[in-house]
Amino acid sequence: GLQPVLDTPIYGRIATLELFRTAGAEKDLLCLTTERWKFSVLEYDSENSELVTRAMGDVQDRIGKPVDSGQIVHIDPDRRMIGLHIYDGLFKVIPIDSKGALKEAFN
């Protein structure tokens, strides 16, 4: 069966979890958002048995009504962007460059 490998605290209530792999990478990354509109992209370092934060930030907007049905995060199948539906009538995009680095988010 499955064996736990790591237990780590997350400061906030997790709203979404999405697993993805950037082009040319050997490991999957975990994208998570919290109910207070924070996000992070985590990678597991098997040599040191620890989580490494690849990116983090705040995707909150000053305007907009939070979605009633819960946040939705989707990774483009070609791994060019992370799409977030966190406010009614608004779609936020976090571009991913060809090296797997995240760029500035936009609506």
pLDDT per residue as tens digits for the range 34-52: 999 999 999 999 899 899 9
pLDDT, tens digit, 9 for 90 and up, residues 56-77: 999 998 888 999 999 999 999 8
Percent share of the chain, pLDDT over 90: 54
Which residues, listed in sequence order, are joined to residue 33 by a DSSP beta bridge? 16, 39
Residue 83, pLDDT above cutoff 90: yes
Task: Give 37's strand partners.
Answer: none
Q: Which residues are CB-neighbours of 66 under 8 A, at least 6 positions away?
A: 86, 87, 88
